[in-house]
């Protein structure tokens, strides 16, 4: 069972089950635990090859045992997402941990002005269970409806879920409007019905300042 201790530490109570977590994110544990590094995000050869081709890097470890294990990463804020058979799309750098009921993979997202280190693909998490995602500062969850599409700065985007269509477009952002842009700016547009997670801090992007 996942639970938060404060906003920056994830505690996982384990009874012999397995948890996949970002490699090196364990900060403490009690009881008996074993740790194994997973190649290619835990999906074997196919997953490893896919990630090498796409540039979507995610190194995971599998933790099994009896007791409680605590995870954290660079004092990032942690948010819990409950999945009931649906799929979560998340930037690989923002995924902290998933429980044994969830599967990870990669998904093509189309042409994009992508965040640094990500390509044309993003990480997917699906099934029944809990996932822990990270943000630089407290995450904001924004609702997208069919009447109100949402446009997001790719540097602030973390994840999304629901029946959403995602597209990438060049355009003017607030920074370029104010004369602070450093190159062609991209935006991510979401249409449909679902949730989008954003952070109040922007990562560097390959498309320049946005």
Report the alpha-carbon distance of residue 79 to residue 77 in Å, rounded: 7
Burial of 85 (0-12, 13-18, 19+ CB in 10 A): exposed
Instruction: Give the tens place of pLDDT for each residue, 161-190.
Output: 999 998 887 765 555 555 555 444 678 899
pTM of the model: 0.81
CA distances in angstroms from 95 to 17, 66, 160, 210, listed in the order given: 20, 23, 12, 23
Average pLDDT over residues 57-73: 90
Q: How many CB atoms lie within 10 A of CB 164?
A: 18
3-state SS string over 40-82? HHHCHHHHHHHHHHHCCCCCEEEEEEEEEEEECCCCCEEEEEE
Q: Is residue 35's pLDDT more than 90?
A: yes
CA dihedral 128, 79, 31, 40 (to 10 degrees): 70
- How much is the pLDDT for 37? 87
What phi and psi values does residue 106 have, to the nearest 5 degrees?
-130, 150
Q: Is 93 helix (H, G, I), strand (E, B) or coil?
A: helix
Which range, 41-55, 84-98, 111-125, is most confident?
84-98
First to last CA, the chain: 38
Average pLDDT over residues 98-120: 67
Q: Would residue 113 be called left, alpha or beta, if left means φ above 0 and alpha means ψ between -120 and 50 degrees? A: beta
Residues 62 and 99: beta-carbon distance below 8 Å: no
């Amino acid at each position: 069972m996942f639970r938060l201790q404060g906003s920056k530490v994830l505690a996982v109570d384990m009874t012999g089950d397995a948890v996949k977590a970002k490699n090196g994110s364990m900060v403490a544990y009690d009881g008996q635990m074993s740790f194994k590094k997973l190649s290619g995000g835990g999906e074997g050869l196919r997953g490893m090859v896919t990630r090498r081709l796409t540039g979507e890097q995610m190194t995971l470890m599998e933790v099994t045992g009896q007791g409680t294990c605590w995870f954290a990463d660079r004092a990032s804020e942690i948010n819990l997402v409950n999945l009931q058979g649906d799929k979560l799309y998340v930037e690989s750098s923002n995924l902290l941990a998933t429980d044994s009921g969830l599967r990870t993979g990669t998904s093509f997202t189309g042409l994009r002005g992508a965040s640094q280190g990500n390509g044309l693909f993003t990480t997917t998490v699906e099934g029944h269970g809990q996932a822990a995602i990270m943000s630089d500062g407290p995450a904001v969850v924004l609702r997208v409806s069919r009447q109100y599409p949402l446009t997001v700065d790719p540097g602030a985007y973390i994840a999304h879920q629901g029946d959403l269509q995602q597209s990438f477009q060049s355009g003017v952002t607030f920074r370029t409007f104010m004369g602070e842009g450093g190159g062609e700016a991209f935006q991510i547009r979401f249409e449909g019905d679902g949730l989008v997670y954003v952070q109040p801090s922007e990562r560097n992007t390959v498309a320049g300042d946005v």
